[in-house]
Structure 1
Amino acid sequence: MKIIKSLCFLAVIASSACNQPAKQQQETAKAEGVSADTAKTTAATQIADTAAVVKAYIALKDEFLKSDVAGVKTAASALEARLAGIKGCSETAIVAHQITEAGDIKAQRESFLALSKDVVDLVKGGKFKSAPIYVDFCPMADGGKGGYWLSAAKTIENPYFPEHMKECGSVKEQIN
């Protein structure tokens, strides 16, 4: 229930995109002659879209905890649709699509590493007025290079090694 409440409050996130910071988006809007009202409406849409991305990302991470290839594909498809709705996130949506096409959990997790990096950057670009979102890190992921993921709970549940090292990792940052 706490996770659901956290995600519901994400609608208060400030405008951001996968590869275009909020300030840069505002400058682009001014340069394109967009009115202040239009810019506010766009920002509100962006906030809702970003909140939907976080919710879909957490659902995907939870499917990785189950190591369910079909469930991961379904959740990645939902995340892809959410990412496609955000200006500047088309490349990240492509990575989510790669997860839907992967034939095994290992390949899906490899794509999840890249996806997580982009989504973490997206969320860090927002300003939260909600329960925290945690940036977690596993030093063993990616062949010992390490990998990040987002979580709505402070407890570590490692999506890269849920069978053998579910509690491997640490909270590196709290976003709120």
Structure 2
Amino acid sequence: MKILKTTLGIVAIAFITLTIVSCKDGKKEQNNADGNHSEMNHDNSDGHHDGEKKAISMSENGSGNTQDVLDDYFSLKDALVADDNAKGTELGATLAKSFGNLDISKYTDTQIADLKDIIEDAVEHAEHISESDIAHQREHFKILSKDVTDMVAITGTEITLYEQFCPMYDGGSSWLSMDKEVRNPYYGSQMLKCGKVQREIN
């Protein structure tokens, strides 16, 4: 029994070390790429515009307000990826309105009750984001991401979404993306690529 506990302890430590080294390697890549800072910004910018194009397309072809919420959520995520506190503030307010305007009348009574709870919580966190510095924006974005994921579990999505996971931020934190490529909203340029795709949501 003692040997088993020791072995499990060693395995757990090895896993944690591997995860941290993996993310730190990502950070080193970022630091090594500082010389190509403008090129990196250009690449990030391209990714951001691709996201915007997809969001616009999704909004036009989607089912209305749910797509508006997702559109605003992804714009907020992009602002945090870009370390843009001012844009995050603006988009937090926009997302709070989108959630407040969400039409949930077509769902079942149980789904409506669940969606009301999700909306109430999401509006509160989006409003906090609209009033906070970027560190606090990221704290609230973690909970907001769970709210959006819970919403999508009820409403569904017409495009493939990717739930991504960062093991380093606040004991492990998830977010949604329209792209497989990881762009970390919790660390931004500090550890842009830290994370992995956890699952696809269709």
TM-score, structure 2 as length reference: 0.63
Q: How many residues align?
A: 139
Name the structure where helix makes up a greater proportion of residues.
Answer: 2
**1:104-123 matches, cutoff 5 A:** 104-123=133-152
Partner of residue 162, structure 2: 134
Q: Could you tell me which of 65, 71, 74 is aligned with 1:55?
A: 71
* Aligned-pair Cα RMSD in Å: 1.9
Alpha-carbon contact 2:121-2:147 (below 8 Å) kept: no
C-alpha separation between the residues in 2 aligned to 1:124 and 1:7? 22
8 Å contact from structure 2 (residues 162, 180) kept in 1: yes
How far is 1:5 from its partner?
3.6
CA gap 1:148/1:116 in 2 versus in 1, 3 angstroms: same
1:8 maps to what in 2? 57
Partner of 2:21: none
Range with greater deviation from structure 2 (114-123 or 85-94): 85-94
Structure 2's unaligned 5+ residue stretches are: 1-48, 105-115
- 2:129 alignment partner in structure 1: 99
Over alpha carbons, which structure has the higher Rg?
2
The alpha-carbon deviation at position 95 of structure 1 amounts to: 0.9
Task: For 1:100 and 1:74, locate their aligned partners in 2 and report how far apart those are by CA, in whole Å.
Answer: 6
Conserved 8 A contact 1:156-1:166? yes
Q: Matched residues in 1 for 2:98 and 2:165: separation?
A: 24
Query: Following TM superposition, by how much is the alpha carbon of 1:157 offset from its aligned partner in structure 2, in angstroms?
Result: 0.2
Question: Aligned letter for 1:8?
Answer: S
Question: Counterparts of 2:91 and 2:55 in 1: how far apart (Å)?
Answer: 19
Matching of residue 174 in structure 1 with residue 200 in structure 2:
yes
For residue 73 of structure 2, give the secondary structure of its aligned residue in structure 1: helix
Identity rate, percent? 33
Return the alpha-carbon distance in structure 2 between the equivalents of residues 7 and 136 of structure 1: 22
Q: Deviations over 1:126-167 (max 9, x none)?
A: 33333x11111101111xx11111111100000001122110
- Give 1:171 shift: 0.6
Change (3 A) 1:60 1:100: same
Superposition deviation, residue 97 in structure 1? 0.1
Change (3 A) 1:126 1:11: farther
Aligned match for 2:190, one of 158, 164, 171: 164
- The one-letter code matched in structure 2 to 1:93 is V
Mapped partners of 1:60, 1:168: distance in 2 = 18
Structure 1 gaps of 5+ residues are: 14-46
User: 1:12 Cα deviation (Å)?
Assistant: 6.9
Partner of 1:37: none
- What's the offset of the Cα at 1:99? 0.7
| C-alpha distance 161-85 of structure 1, shift in aligned 2 (>3 A) | same
CA contact (8 A) 2:74 2:177 kept: yes
